[in-house]
Amino acid sequence: MTKEMVQADLDRLPEGYKTAEVDRLIERYVREKQDMSALRAYVLAEQQLHRIYFHTSLKQIRDVNERMKWLDGNLLFSDWWHTDENIRFVSDLNLETALEYARRYVTDSDPFIRRWGYVMFISKLCRSEAALHGILPLLHNDEHYYVQMAQAWLIAELTVFFPDEIYEWLPQSGLNYTITGRAVQKICDSYRIDTRMKVLFRTLRESLKHTAPTHKNTIPDNRTLL
């Protein structure tokens, strides 16, 4: 399907259309088994095509390993929203397979790929002890705001299932307070973590302020397609 054909469909949507209208369009494309490969060259420059390209393609791939391979060849992220939208497509991955990909992603030069290396675990992928021990070594200091927020989110998600372990690990993690402070805030905001643990983490945050290093964070420039 060409870019012009997709644009014509978008132009027929109501003025000020919402994501739901785009999703109905995507479902039609999936039923028709449309090939969206022609859109690849445009998704970073024309954001309205990003969701269509990714979701139409991924929903036609039934095997989770094949989905992951497709994503690995299409790490075309220009903001946090488009990155995070793909979490559900890989939640059934084998843990070791996911970790193999993530070890490469979290050291990538592109901050949105680094973010993906963390947020891809924010699903049932992070709920086992094996996942806990595999994920924690991935966490390291990063200066980019969107990566730091992904790390904080992942730490909070792990805390839902392993509160005592994260409480013991956090002050020894070596992570900057820009990350650990945000993680504690997300932990305290979570309705899935009990009050007792939130009190402990709030107290821990006061200690982290004085012992954990701080680091300037930056918001990355828009990505460009290479």
Secondary structure of 62-79 in HEC code, one letter for each residue: CCHHHHHHHHHCCCCCCC
CA distance 5 to 106: 36
Q: Which two structure tokens, joined as six digits, stand for 115?
A: 């973010």
User: pLDDT tens string for the chain (226 positions)?
Assistant: 999 999 999 999 999 999 999 999 999 999 999 999 999 999 999 988 999 999 999 999 999 999 999 999 999 999 999 999 999 999 999 999 999 999 999 999 999 999 999 999 999 999 999 999 999 999 999 999 999 999 999 999 999 999 999 999 999 999 999 999 999 999 999 999 999 999 999 999 999 988 766 555 444 444 433 3
Does the domain at residues 65-218 carry the CATH identifier 1.25.10.90?
A: yes
Q: Where are the domains of the chain?
A: 1-60, 65-218
Count the neighbouring beta carbons within 10 Å of the beta carbon of residue 157. 25
Q: In this predicted structure, what is the pLDDT of residue 13?
A: 95
User: What's the pTM value of the predicted model, to 2 decimals?
Assistant: 0.91
Tokens 């993680």 belong to which residue? Answer: 183
